[in-house]
Structure 1
Amino acid sequence: LIASRSLVLFYDSRTQSPNDLNVLRSMLHNGGRTESNTNESYSASADGSVWDLPAGPIRLAVGGEYRIERARTTQAVPDDPRFNLSLVGNFRRAVESAFAETRVPIVSEKQRLPLLHSLELSAAARYDTYSDIGGHISPGYGLIWRPVKWALVRASRNYAFRAPGLQALYRPVTNGGLTIFGFSIPTRDPQRGGTPLPLGSYTSLIGGNLDLKPEKSISDNVGIVIESPFELLKGLSFSVDYQVLDYTDRLQNPLFNIQQIFDFFPDRITRGANLPGDLPGWAGVPTLIDVRTVNIAKLEIQAVDYQVGYHRVTPWGTLDARVALTDYLKYLATSVPGTAPVSTLYQFPTRLSWQAYLTKGPYGFGVSGFYQEKQYLDLTYTTPRFRSAVEWNAQLAYDFDRRTDAAGRNDTRLKRWLFAGTKLSLTVNNVFDREPPHIEGNAGFAVTDPRMARYVLTLRKAF
């Protein structure tokens, strides 16, 4: 496309641009274009105690929601189809939902039973029906057991349902442009002997996919929490949670990992004739790559979350601190029913995060950050996709609601109203101004924010 418009990309920026102004203007959307996306939602809920048991009251919550999603695009003159990336026309979806949740205390400390300090069961159900997709019931179950006051065991199973978005379904299907990078880490074509894909521009298929199915999932969680029973370590807690997530028809946009399309979705690649010198059995060269949202038939994820927390009131203020680590054990995807599952665990490195916040009176100061290990290109764990990354953030805040009596005793009524519910904070993200980890063609924005060091001044007022 760029070549057909005779656009010059490389030139000395200190001189006048060699590109014709009319050519540049021809590549812009026309001025008579408007887009709007609106959501309206109406909800009602009620909760409370419905029955008293020896261990405590049974609590019940019920509710409903009605939501309307609209997407609308108008334009005075039709765009060149190659640039028409949004819905054209009016699209509307209505979503009706109802839910119920209950918590039932079976045993409490009142019963004084051995290894049964408390036991609570929970159950929930949610029904969602989409005007264009259909309906689905998503139940959930849970258990919380304290054998002793300082130890807790929890387990749950939850079912979930997610419908494709309006844009993913109904955007017009058109051709776009796709640039293949990879000087040091090339995209390889398994159907052509694993040879690197030639660098440059390719034609892609973009837009909506009417064949998309709703995404369904089952999540299981088993965890344990230990709270220090010793006075010396009061406020210290440790938890471990083992999670299993099973997705059916997982919604995923493959645009950001072209290698996955070649590895797992060969049917989304249109090919032309073979080249002279191709080996017998090789497929033809790619001529079109379909990068629209797709359903992954099955995805299984297993992970363990570790967390250490600390809460302590000291002469210098109240300290809240947390350190958490997520370690992925399995990431197994079956792209199409009937095919063998493929592990992409190498894309999910271990991630450590931390935060600490100290408050004294109206003043607050906190730090947070994370460290992420290298991300690799394949299961051999030899070629990094992204290097490891670390980031530190800091915040300083003043909460006018928490001023000492001496500071606020003589305030006028106007001052009290002005300061009530008011908080001022300064946040510094990426304190040390570290660049995101990157390779050519991919700047690692999914790991850290590309804006690097930035400062946010926030004034919040609640009425």
Structure 2
Amino acid sequence: MMKSLRPQRLAKAIQLSLLLSLPAAFASNVAAAQDAPPADQANATTLDTVTVTGSRIKQSNLVTSQPVFILDRQKLEKTGVQTVGEILQQLTASGQALNAKFNSSGNFGYPNDGGGIGAGSAQVDLRNLGSKRVLVLVDGIRWVNESSASGVSGSADVNTIPLAIVERVEVLEDGASAIYGSDAIAGVVNIITRRNFDGAEAHAYYGEYEDGGETTEASVTLGGGGERFNAVFGASYYEQKKISSGSWEQSSFPTPGTGLRGGSSGTPQGRYTFCDPSIADPTQYGFCDPAGEMWFDLTLNDGTTTPAWDPNDPTGGTYHNFSGADRFNFAPYNLLLTPSKRKALFTSLNYDLTDNVRLHAKAMYNNRTSTNQAAPEPIFVGPFAGTGGIADTVIVHADNPYNPFGITLDPASNFGWVTRRPVEVGPRIFNQDVDTSYFNLGLDGTFAVGEHSFSWDVNGVHSENKAQQHFFNGYNVAKIKLALGDPAVCALVPGCVPLDLFGGQGRPMTQEMIDWIRTEQIDASKQTLDLLQANITGDLFNIGDRTAGFAAGVEHRKYRGEFNPDPLRRTGESQDSFAAAVSADYKVDEIYAEANFPVLASLELNAAVRYSDYSTFGDATTGKVGFRWQPVEDLVFRGTYSEGFRAPNLGELYGLTQFGATLVDPCGPTGTLVVDASDGLNTTPLETACRAQGVPNGFEQANTQITTFTGGNPDLQPEESDSYTVGMVYSPSWAEGLSWSDKLDFELSYYNHEVDGAIQARDLQALLESCLAAGGLPTSSPSCAVFSRGPSGNLNPPNNFLDNLGTIKTDGMDVKVNWRSPEWGWGRLTAGLQATTVFKYEAVDVDGFKSQREEGVEVNDSAIPEWQTNLQVGWSKGDWDVSWTSRYISSVKEACSNVPVAEAPGCMGGVEFNDLGSTTYHDLQVGWKNAFTLDGLKLSLGVNNIFGKEPPVCLTCSLNGYDAGTYDLPGSFWYVSADYRF
């Protein structure tokens, strides 16, 4: 039975008006075809042509009703970077998104949206609404979403599009679901490829950071044609080498400035938490009390080669009580910059079948290999491991020849956990191999009906993103269980040898042990998008001496997603993480119409409506209206209101994985004695609630990453949004042709987005705090329903599945200024300013919990600065040009309550927030055309972050001590490039 979105009155009204107006376009007889721009340019062109991204109607105005930011090839080259993703993430409207600075594989498990980790990919976020709410187009047609071998994502990897083939990038900073369909809530990124190219061009590039990370890029582009055809061919190669986290002092510890206390409890010396049933004295250390308060919690002394255990003197020999000082520093094993190689081929062909019908074809292949690296995988066995799987059920048999305690450790009675990080095995390595292919075949043309001209196009597209990830140095937990159990049973299994988790670094595992438990794991995923599309645009009718334009079209899409995790992940035998397979598809059929009406000499109105029918949830109708008012020649006012939606993607519908949610437990996040019954009293409401949950004295949550079972929900409904923009563009004629100014433009735009039914899992941190504030018991509050604790007080794995839970509201303003001087004797100056300020960002779920994520706040490796500003200043004369760019990010703050270590700098002395100061990066580039008198040769030399500004220390960020989605890598980056066109 079909399900529908709530009634959309705006969309229905627009739909009726558009359908009534379309027949007028065909009232006359067919006349001779007239020349018109190629139809595939109707999807996206620069502002000096007749169409713009955000509308499929040819228009005669340079300034339209929606804000569009253009990055032409010259601007792209002046950034000094060689990836589309990095360029887009420098936009002032951009928020946090994946890039090569994220090294998340092996550290957090799978995210709760079913989309996978996205290792090695680069995504784009606009308005801080997430990459899934940004639609990525290539030449006006949807691009396939990425897979990265860890899920079925709802986001596109923009680094699958090599920069060498890009003519320009157009960013629509407005909602556009009525024009383009699902996902265009926060905006649209339209990447326009090179088409009209004649000749040959060779490009070479080399750059390097202060700490290494060499970047090499080379490409060749060939183009030409004859009377009836033209073609472009391109090939490119890109290589980015790694930078180790150990090369930067700030990332040398898990929590900057606190040393090992912020590290992992999985240490090379091991950690052993258990009790001895033979101890009868309830006051003696090691007694098996139900709360676990008297249990042994030990680790080996450094330098121990032969552990010696005396239950009557547990810390008198080779053991001591485990403390924060014993935690393991995993940071040096991670990567500050992940390595990546990309090879791409691209071709585009246009052939005129007749004077007014053209065949067009386009194909691209891109291969990416990349690597993530993490510290050697720790082994956690016993119920305190909290995996919800096999590891929690492991029994360490008394007859295990390496068990020094002489007793069986049984989860049912006396076993907490044994942890050990075998550094002798080596770091975890995750190698990704990703292939992206794209093929477009279609026709486009023009015709006329009376005095009205029309353009049309038909496209058939097949695109595919296929990935495989090879994981090295992981473990089979089922084999670990067998090797720690009864040696007699192990002996019956070929290859099984008893496992030693008790000797620390002084007695490393033997090769036989490693070979028995170590396993390689291969995960794979694939997404395909098949699309059929037909569009028509042209003149509708005349209103006075002006023409009303229209566009209409139909589209059919089929999405298919597959995720095939390694069999060990599916059975729960992987020590790394559990994941279930996904194999699903859905179809969507759509029809849209758009019209532009010149109502008065100075006023234009436009409207669009789109009807979508999904095989997964039903139908949706969205609409958009806008205006453009030009009261005087120099000044344009504009505005839009649009309804949007985002259909749940396949990962959100069907994925099932584990996620390592980072939780700060209010009952003892830093080892302080929050729960202290020494006086026999519960002195605070928090202590009372923690005690009600069974938290023992002196409790410290064993790990801040709590395993969470999460995944998709086939009953999800689309997200819905309401967006509006208002703004002005002022191009004063009094600033033209002056001694100090040749051209001056001002642009001011206000945006407002509200997303309802946002697809998300619940905020476990807020839920846990609410539960404890209410008393801590299931009877106290519904927020306690997902939480339970083991005998030690450690949180058990909660379930946290996706639903339409959230409402997100954000608004802000964009400011843009462009100025160009006249041609003076000593050269010409240019200046450009783009600034974005966020007035408000608020996310609230259905339980009434407000997310900590808001403007001016750093949380979950994601900051929302109140101001981001880019300023470009340029000078040019003859063959020389110099550009200087300043990129400013305002200060943000992070809550000290989220910092896992109380002694962290910036949060001591009862301080509520740690401030991350404002940051400004300065980039310089010098260009020389026709270098060394060789026509067509251009050399560029540049330095990004020329003063070596380091990102501010982030105490809550997961890796490397800074927010990799907001700030640049530490240190300067220099580069040189050469372009030769002939």
Q: Tell me if TM exceeds 0.5.
A: yes
Structure 1 distance, partners of 2:875, 2:578, is 48
- The corresponding residue for 1:227 is 731
- The corresponding residue for 1:328 is 838
- The corresponding residue for 2:720 is 216
Shift of 1:200: 1.8
Alpha carbons 2:742, 2:822 under 8 Å: kept:
no
Q: Secondary structure at the match of 1:168?
A: helix
- The corresponding residue for 1:100 is 593
Structure 2 distance, partners of 1:453, 1:240, is 33
- The corresponding residue for 2:540 is 50
Deviations 1:211-243, CA, capped at 9 Å, x for gaps: 533211111112122222323445222233222
The 3 A distance-change label for structure 1 pair 446 and 229 is same
Structure 2 distance, partners of 1:428, 1:240, is 31
Verify: 1:305 aligned to 2:821, yes or no.
Answer: no
Unaligned 5+ runs, structure 1 = 109-117, 277-283, 409-418
Shift of 1:289: 4.3
Shift of 1:139: 0.7
Q: How does 1:44-83 map to 2 (within 5 A)?
A: 44-74=534-564, 77-79=567-569, 80-81=571-572, 83=576
Alpha carbons 1:181, 1:199 under 8 Å: kept:
no
Shift of 1:270: 2.9
Q: Secondary structure at the match of 1:434?
A: coil
Q: How does 1:431-446 map to 2 (within 5 A)?
A: 431-442=946-957, 443-446=962-965
Shift of 1:63: 2.4
Deviations 1:42-76, CA, capped at 9 Å, x for gaps: 32322222222225211112223322222224467
Q: How does 1:61-460 map to 2 (within 5 A)?
A: 61-74=551-564, 77-79=567-569, 80-81=571-572, 83=576, 88-108=581-601, 118-173=602-657, 175-178=658-661, 180=663, 192=686, 198=701, 200-210=703-713, 211-231=715-735, 232=738, 233-252=741-760, 259-260=765-766, 262=768, 267=783, 270-272=786-788, 286-290=795-799, 293=802, 295-315=804-824, 320-336=830-846, 339=848, 344-347=854-857, 348-356=864-872, 357=874, 365-377=882-894, 383-384=913-914, 386-395=916-925, 429-442=944-957, 443-450=962-969, 453-454=972-973
- The corresponding residue for 2:380 is 3
Alpha carbons 1:55, 1:105 under 8 Å: kept:
no
Shift of 1:141: 0.6
Shift of 1:248: 0.2
Structure 2 distance, partners of 1:3, 1:379, is 29
Unaligned 5+ runs, structure 2 = 1-377, 382-417, 427-504, 675-683, 691-698, 772-781, 858-863, 898-910
Shift of 1:149: 1.4
Q: Secondary structure at the match of 1:230?
A: helix
Q: Which residue identity lines up with residue 105 of structure 1 in the other structure?
A: P
Percent of aligned positions that are identical: 21
Please report the TM-score for the alignment, with normalisation by the length of structure 1.
Answer: 0.73
- The corresponding residue for 1:111 is none
Q: Which residue identity lines up with residue 223 of structure 1 in the other structure?
A: G
Shift of 1:100: 2.1
Alpha carbons 2:540, 2:547 under 8 Å: kept:
yes
Shift of 1:28: 5.2
Structure 2 distance, partners of 1:449, 1:93, is 39
Aligned residues: 423
- The corresponding residue for 2:50 is none
The 3 A distance-change label for structure 1 pair 179 and 89 is closer
Higher relative contact order (CA 8 A, sep 6+): 2
Shift of 1:153: 1.3
Structure 2 distance, partners of 1:234, 1:212, is 55
Please report the TM-score for the alignment, with normalisation by the length of structure 2.
Answer: 0.37
Alpha carbons 1:268, 1:289 under 8 Å: kept:
no
Shift of 1:244: 1.8
Q: Which residue identity lines up with residue 756 of structure 2 in the other structure?
A: T
The 3 A distance-change label for structure 1 pair 67 and 461 is farther
Structure 2 distance, partners of 1:394, 1:240, is 27
- The corresponding residue for 1:414 is none
The 3 A distance-change label for structure 1 pair 78 and 236 is same
Structure 1 distance, partners of 2:976, 2:555, is 35
The 3 A distance-change label for structure 1 pair 307 and 375 is same
Alpha carbons 2:706, 2:795 under 8 Å: kept:
no
- Relative to its length, the structure with more strand (as a share) is 1
Deviations 1:328-368, CA, capped at 9 Å, x for gaps: 2222332116x376783442332232242556677665443
Name the Cα RMSD after superposition: 4.6
Structure 1 distance, partners of 2:582, 2:790, is 41
Alpha carbons 1:269, 1:290 under 8 Å: kept:
no
Structure 1 distance, partners of 2:849, 2:827, is 56
Q: Which residue identity lines up with residue 814 of structure 2 in the other structure?
A: D
Greater Rg over alpha carbons, structure: 2
Structure 1 distance, partners of 2:784, 2:928, is 55
Structure 2 distance, partners of 1:100, 1:424, is 47
Structure 1 distance, partners of 2:822, 2:507, is 63
Q: Secondary structure at the match of 2:599?
A: strand
Verify: 1:30 aligned to 2:521, yes or no.
Answer: yes
